[in-house]
Chains A and B, each alone.
Chain A
Amino acid sequence: MKSVIKSAMLAAVGSMGLAAPSFAEEVNVAFFLQWPTPNLVWKTSGAYADAMGVDVNWVDFTTGTAMTEAMLAGDIDISYSQGLAPFVTAIQQGAPLKMIGIAVIYEANDCFVRNELGIDGSNASELEGKTVAVPLNTMADYAFRKYMDHYNIDIATMTVVDQAPPDGAKSLADGAVDMACVFGGVDTASAAEVGTAIMTSQQKQDAGIGSFDVVTVTEKFATENPELVQAFMDATAEANEAWTGSDEQVQIVADASGMGVEATKTTLAGFVIPSVEDQVSNFFNEGGDAAAAAASLGLVFQGDSDGSQIAKTIDGSFLE
């Protein structure tokens, strides 16, 4: 308790000096390791700093929730490729953030059924009553619900076990669970060893089940430095256009994201980087995908999600 009081006091004292100078001499951008987006070429070459005219400080994170926390603390101005799930939960908690772009569209995370069960899309109804490992409140959870919804399976009949992807993959291999929903290259690969994805890429596409990562920014930074946000988005668009997928570029991205070249290529193959026009006409238009996905995701996590509220935090004005 003492430490609680102590930190509470510290917080009170800290708040006195809070009128922090808000001029932007450098921009702090959050990004993910193990997530090889093409714009990392520009990050590495320092082209972002050249294009924006200020120093760009890239900070790597492992979870989107941590990105939110850092943005709330004022340490991060822009999060590049934050997951939709942490963004939506942050909005539901009243965090002053907004979505200003789509970083990357990728296939929804897979749910793998143990090979012995012989269940795939054609007889998916047999999944009723089975045990499934899901990392709750993540994009994998969202994908799981979408799949079950697609196959008309009542989740209430299933035993849902909350497991992080490495544990889920292991439990699937051990036969402790019948299905495991995972994310991340390594765990997806090890789950695929012993299981079959409940939906193929084509099926996912046909059913309209996909995920995307977003670019988010704090309200404060966006209102005070709109020109820097604009410059960042322009630079990102330019960086994406400059992407050719050459070996040289892949090598740079692999180094920047801390991955092997092969793994980088595989991951990149599953990425679609939407052009600015695509973002404007498909995601940020009236009733576009961004608002729709955010609203349905909110429903999954909080039960009483108000889609119109989340839609207010989606701002396509920085896309030209």
Chain B
Amino acid sequence: MLEWLSDNRASIAAVLILAMIGTFVWSIVIGRRQARLTANDEVFGDPVRTKGGWYWAVCGVSTLFLLWSYYSWGVGRAYFPNAANEMCQIAKLEEAVSPIKAALPIGSRYFKSTLLASRNSDQLDDLEAQLEGTVFVDAEKSELLDVIGQVRELIANSSNPNNMGEEPKAELLRLAERLNELSSYVDAGPIGLAPSDEALAQPKWGTTFTEIPILPITERGMLFDTASVEAAEIAAAFNKIRNKFPANDVLIDDIKTRIDALKEINKSGEFDELERADREGYVKAVERIFKRLDDGLIFPAAALEDVGTAIANLDAAASDAQGGLRYADALFFPGPGIVKSRTQCTEQGPARWLPKPTDVVATFARLANPDVESGGGYRGFPLLWWDWLPIADVVAFFIPDWIADVWPGEYASHGPDGTITPNFKDKLLAFAQGDVSLGYIPMLDGHIWDSLFRVLVALGLGIFLGVPLGLFMGVSRFFKSFFDPLIELYRPVPPLAWAPLILTIFGIHDDGKIFLLFMVAFAIMVISARTGASGVLLSKIRASHSLGASDRQIMWNVILPNAMPEILTGTRIAVGVCWGTLVAAEMLAGTTGVGFIENIARTVSDYELIWVTILIMGILGLVFDLIMRWIIKKTIPWRGMG
């Protein structure tokens, strides 16, 4: 079932997207209709104006879903499931001709030859300017000047179309012809081409770790795929062509001998080390430039004209052959399109870092599978499941081992026959360490539960300790003055700043992580409880006092209820911040947890996994918030009413 869903995720998305568009329109219709029904005399700023409006929530959710689908290419994949594979084949052709394009002013401003000529000429100019200040004697200087002049001549010769040999000329013409033939082949369309069985057997787009399988699965894809093979051959042949001709060959030989002679002088002459280095450096610089020019890489611009036209033709043909795909690409695949590597094609732009909604759900489903043996869970641990927890472990958690140590007597040692008879002290130790069977209780288990547990315990401690302290700080001069500097000093410190200490103080277990979260929750709870307590109307306290209430009664029945709105708002904030700190806390010593998953996913840039963890944290935070809202509604219904 799951497999079927996973394989057909594109079709499912297609239905969902249509449904969401429907919901989007429908919610707006309802919203507008409802707006007409509401009273005209509602005043701006009246809190009543925010009541209700679930249809706008529906509208917001569907907008979010649609935008997400659009930018993650979810819409594109749903309605054009073969588009990515075809774009991949087009990318193959693009890549195949890219060496030829790189030599031409296509996608760049200049011919590669122009750049080579200008760059090396500039460097020759620099060398010539430096020559005066070098250690060479005058005769050598004029010799070097001559060599530099010859290298310049080399550039000039290569750039002259009249000098070009018949062979490279003919070869370029032949390649232009081949490119034109290729254009007409592409123009003719996919006749007699059918995707191979191997290609059709590939997994669908995005269903496995390989994003877009590389073999063509459509006729159009086949056309581009076969064209790219021919284009690659043409490009290889193009790369082999050298602009060589007799005039330059003579020149090259001459320069070579002269440079060698200069090197010989440098080697044999009686120069001190510094002078020799200078001489060798200069000659080497000349030689380097010469070496870049001696293999005939500079072509006259005119010679490349035919190839340039042929490439333009091919581009036009390829563009025509894409047909409707071009519009689909422009409309439904925002971003730079598809990039081909040696092994697969991948999405670029927003689709790279924003996985499709269906993919996120599929990844979540894979992780949520509690059967760790069959590939569920993450790193051998389920996402959220339950397990039998030995009661002995719980007992062991509360009973420290040293109780057994301080019990009078010695631990048993093995007897002469090699057996061990445990005495009471041993048994006590076993009990304290949880090595006994006391039965089992079902307990939640998994990454989410571990994170949840940490947050809940930290939050619980924060409320339990922070609220009383805050209340007392709100009513007592001693508490306020004593704790104020302490709290105010540590409160602004970002939780991450504690991280390096936590590891040393608490080690790698849960207590350190919980403490980090507790620090966050505690400060917020203290501040909110204090603000709540000090904000109680004096008249209420006076009134209860004059009615004979004791201090305890005033605290319990007047101050606490009046501080409740602040405390509950504080709790809401604390929950949010705790989830925010969780990733950092679980980075300290990661073993389990949602933050741990995210940290690992980050090291391999697994964006799907990262989004799954983000969504899990978002949803858990939302659930917490909804619970808090419900509590607020139940416990302080008077809030905002007076």
Q: Once the chains bind, are B343 and A162 in contact (CB under 8 Å)?
A: no
Q: Contact: B102 with A92, CB < 8 Å?
A: no
Task: Give the number of residues in B that approach A within 8 Å (Cβ atoms).
Answer: 60
Count, A-B residue pairs, CB within 8 A: 162
Question: Could you tell me the distance in whole angstroms from the C-beta of B49 to the nearest C-beta in chain A?
Answer: 23
- Contact mask B97-132 → A, CB, 8 Å, 1/0? 011011000011110100100011001000000000
Q: Are B605 and A159 in contact (CB under 8 A)?
A: no
Cβ of A174 < 8 Å from any Cβ of B? Answer: yes
Q: Which residue of A lies closest to B232 (CB)?
A: A223
Which of B421-429, B534-542, B589-597 makes up part of the contact surface? B589-597
Q: Are A8 and B341 in contact (CB under 8 A)?
A: no
Per-position binary interface string of chain A over residues 142-161, scored 1 when its CB falls under 8 Å from any chain B CB and 0 otherwise: 00000000000000100111
Number of A residues with CB within 8 Å of any CB on chain B = 64
* Given known contacts A8-B350, A23-B109, A91 and B508 CB-to-CB distance under 8 angstroms: no
| Chain A hits for B380, CB < 8 A | 156
Closest to B295 in A: A227
Q: Is A25 an interface residue (CB 8 A)?
A: yes
Residues from chain B with Cβ under 8 Å of A95 in the complex: 341, 346
Q: Are A68 and B589 in contact (CB under 8 A)?
A: no
Is B544 in the interface zone, CB < 8 Å from A?
no
Within 8 Å by CB of A91, from B292, B341, B589, lies: B341
Given known contacts A161-B508, A170-B504, A171-B507, A219 and B102 CB-to-CB distance under 8 angstroms = no
Q: Which residues of A contact B115 (CB under 8 A)?
A: 23, 25
CA distance A15 to B503 in the complex (A): 45
- Are A219 and B342 interface neighbours, CB within 8 A? yes
Q: Is the CB of A93 within 8 A of B108?
A: no
Answer whether residue A236 sits at the interface, using C-beta atoms and an 8 A cutoff: no
Query: What's the Cα separation between A1 and B596 when bound, in Å?
Result: 24
Interface pair B603/A137, CB less than 8 Å apart = yes
In the complex, which residues of chain B have a beta carbon less than 8 angstroms from the beta carbon of A53?
A: 119-120, 123, 288-289, 292
Chain B, residues 211-226, CB within 8 Å of chain A (1/0): the string is 1100000000000000
Q: Of the 9-residue stretches A31-39, A120-128, A205-213, A309-317, which lies at the interface with chain B?
A: A309-317
Q: Which residue in B98, B336, B503, B590 is a CB contact (below 8 Å) of A18?
A: B336
Flag if B346 contacts A94 (CB, 8 Å).
yes
Q: State whether A15 and B335 are in contact (beta carbons under 8 Å apart), knowing that A161-B508, A226-B99, A302-B209 are contacts in the complex.
A: yes
Are A220 and B590 also in contact (CB < 8 A) when A91-B341, A171-B503, A176-B507 are?
Answer: no
Q: Separation in Å of the B212 CB from the closest CB of chain A?
A: 8
Complex Cα spacing A207 to B71, Å? 49
Give the chain A neighbours of B343 by CB distance below 8 A. Answer: 91, 94, 309-310, 312-313
Q: Is B227 an interface residue (CB 8 A)?
A: no
Q: Which of B211, B349, B507 contacts A12 (CB 8 A)?
A: B349
Which residue of B107, B211, B345 has the most chain A CB atoms within 10 A of its CB atom? B107
User: Chain A contacts of B110 at CB under 8 A?
Assistant: 23
Kindly state whether residue A21 has any CB partner on chain B within 8 Å: yes
Residues of A within 8 A of B390 (CB): none
* A11–B285 touching, CB < 8 Å: no
The digit string for B2-15, where 1 denotes a CB below 8 A from any CB of A, is 00000000000000
A60 at the interface (CB under 8 A from B): no
**Are A11 and B350 within 8 A (Cβ)?**
yes
Q: Is A163 an interface residue (CB 8 A)?
A: yes
B341's contact among A162, A163, A313, by CB below 8 Å, is which?
A: A313
A202 at the interface (CB under 8 A from B): no
Interface pair A163/B342, CB less than 8 Å apart = no
Closest to A25 in B: B115
For B341, the chain A residues whose CB sits under 8 A away are: 91, 94-97, 219, 313
In the complex, A105 has a CB within 8 A of chain B: no
User: In the docked arrangement, what's the CA distance between A33 and B110, Å?
Assistant: 35
Contacts from B to A (Cβ < 8 Å): 64, 67, 71, 95, 98-99, 101-102, 107-110, 112, 115, 119-120, 123, 209-212, 239, 285, 288-289, 292, 297, 334-337, 339-346, 349-350, 354, 380, 503-504, 507-509, 587-591, 596, 599-600, 603-606
A-B pairs, top 8 by smallest CB distance, nearest first, are A162-B590, A94-B346, A224-B102, A96-B341, A176-B507, A23-B108, A12-B334, A137-B603
- Please, could you name 12 A-B residue pairs with CB atoms under 8 Å apart, sorted by A? A12-B335, A15-B335, A23-B108, A23-B112, A89-B604, A136-B590, A167-B588, A220-B98, A224-B99, A225-B102, A301-B604, A312-B343
Known: A94-B343, A161-B590, A301-B604. 5 other contacts (CB 8 A): A23-B115, A69-B605, A94-B345, A224-B99, A225-B102
